[in-house]
Amino acid sequence: MTRAYSISVEDVAAERERVDQDLSQVDVSRVIKLDELELAEMGASDVRLRILAVSAEHNVDHAALADTVNIAELRGGKIYPGNSAVGEVIAVGSEVTRFKPGEIVLTHCNGAPDRFGFPKVIWAYDKPDSTGWYGEEAVVGDWQIVPAPLDCGLNLWEIAALPLRAPTAYHLWRRADGIFRVKVPEERLGTLNVMGFGGGVSELFLMLAKARGHNAFFCSGSAERRDALEAQGIAPIDQKAFNRFASRDDSKAFVKEVRGLTGGEGMHIVCDMLRGPLFNAGFAACAREGVIVSAGWQLTRDVEYNSAAASIKQITLDHTHYETLEGVEAATELYGSVFKPTIHSEIYAFEDLPRAMAEMHANTQTGIPIIRVAKEMPDAAAALVP
């Protein structure tokens, strides 16, 4: 048995009842509960991990709210969430050759690659029988982990921020860039204008764009997060100056600002992980031949757009999900050199994970939230604790 957090259909229903089905009043810390989990028997190609640190991920918020789907119900009544972790290998099955006890590794959440490598389901979310990593120990297949790049220059918390968000950002970038280049080759336009809205994935996406020599713009409501990106050469746009696009006039003023910042051109690539009012703002801010990519739907799932305008401006919308296994390895190579994540000021204790999730939900954190799971760190990881 190990201690692990769970989300049960009863707790989701009880909290919804408490707030009279008003999702804006849900306290997710009342839904995510510290529980016990019987770990799976170790198979020949399995690895047993001691979890060292995890990051809070937004799909756990979606699971607790049951706002997109009621995943706890679909999974038979309960899920054990958490699909991003840094762990120490403590035992390996007889056929495991890539890893040995004592190694520090990262998990990835591609739960079942399709024939081209893209995830059909996500580990600890919709993958049947999968249990997540918001726990003290875990048993995973050896294909589910990659070596942690301990000498990449990042500290342990920064490394823990990346296993889910960096591969997502990497995939979004290679799709957006590839699609734009089908339309406009590099010799016609070398430097692109790239914009992302607030959030950890978008921040990493912009770091990639910047590293590839493009003009990057971060449109966020958080002054701390804008400042952190500005220090990396990514230009800030204060989303709250445009009231998060609440009215038509706000959106018009935003588009005017974008035209001013880009010499009248607009954004060639937009990363929109939130949708809702941000989708329309991103669409309006697009340059001709622009590409809008998304792997998220934090505010709404559904979008509506003027298809004629999209055709006439040659705008492409693309929908992505998590990376392939090869893409995960490639994204991990960029830790420290390209990906330098912003971390929330508090590192949460394991027992405070529900509060970390509630503060994420309330959007009060100044960077990616990290939870320290292991009190005692192995030497290799302890050396990276700031």
Ligand X SMILES: NC(=O)c1ccc[n+]([C@@H]2O[C@H](COP(=O)([O-])OP(=O)(O)OC[C@H]3O[C@@H](n4cnc5c(N)ncnc54)[C@H](OP(=O)(O)O)[C@@H]3O)[C@@H](O)[C@H]2O)c1
Q: Which residues of the shown chain bind ligand X in the complex (CB under 6 A)?
A: 58-59, 62, 164-165, 168, 198-202, 220-222, 225, 239, 244, 273-274, 278, 295-296, 298-299, 321-322, 360, 363, 368
Q: How many CB atoms lie within 10 A of CB 100?
A: 11
- At position 327, the amino acid (one-letter code) is G
How near is the Cβ of 367 to ligand X at its closest, in Å?
A: 8
Residue type, 59: N
Which CB sits closer to ligand X, 92 or 164? 164
Phi, psi of 192 (to 5 degrees): -105, 155
**Whose Cβ is closer to ligand X: residue 9's or residue 60's?**
60
Number of C-beta neighbours around residue 14 at 10 A: 12
Tokens of 373: 């799971």
Give long-range contacts, CB 8 A cutoff, 24+ apart: 239-246: 239/197, 239/198, 242/281, 244/277, 244/278, 245/277, 245/278, 245/280, 245/281, 246/277
Amino acid at the residue 266: G
Q: How far is the CB of 181 from ligand X (least distance, A)?
A: 23
Q: How far is the CB of 182 from ligand X (least distance, A)?
A: 23
- Cβ at position 123, least distance to ligand X in Å: 11
- Please say which residue, 370 or 374, places its beta carbon nearer to ligand X: 370
What are residue 113's phi and psi, to 5 degrees? -65, 140
Task: Decide whether 241 or 385 has the Cβ nearer to ligand X.
Answer: 241
Q: List residues bridging with 5 in a β-sheet.
A: 34
Task: Classify residue 115 as exposed, middle or buried by CB count within 10 Å of its CB (0-12, 13-18, 19+).
Answer: exposed
Q: In this complex, which beta carbon is closest to ligand X, that of residue 100 or of residue 319?
A: 319
265 vs 352, beta carbon nearer ligand X: 352
Query: Shortest CA distance to 64 belongs to which of 29, 89, 91?
Result: 29
Half-sphere exposure of 65 (CA within 13 A, CB side): 19
The smaller minimum CB distance to ligand X, of residues 92 and 370, is found at 370
Closest CB 129 distance from ligand X, rounded Å: 20
Phi, psi of 302 (to 5 degrees): -95, 140
Radius of gyration of the chain from its Cα atoms, rounded to whole angstroms:
21
CB of 368 to ligand X, least distance (A): 6
Residue 81 or 198 with smaller CB distance to ligand X:
198
Specify whether the CB–CB gap between 367 and 226 falls below 8 A.
no
Q: Which is nearer to ligand X, 80 or 279 (CB)?
A: 279
C-beta of residue 206 within 8 angstroms of C-beta of residue 228:
no
Alpha helices in the chain (DSSP H): 9-18, 58-65, 71-74, 156-160, 165-183, 200-211, 223-230, 248-261, 277-285, 307-312, 325-332, 353-361, 379-382
Q: How far is the CB of 21 from ligand X (least distance, A)?
A: 20
CB of 203 to ligand X, least distance (A): 7
CB of 172 to ligand X, least distance (A): 9
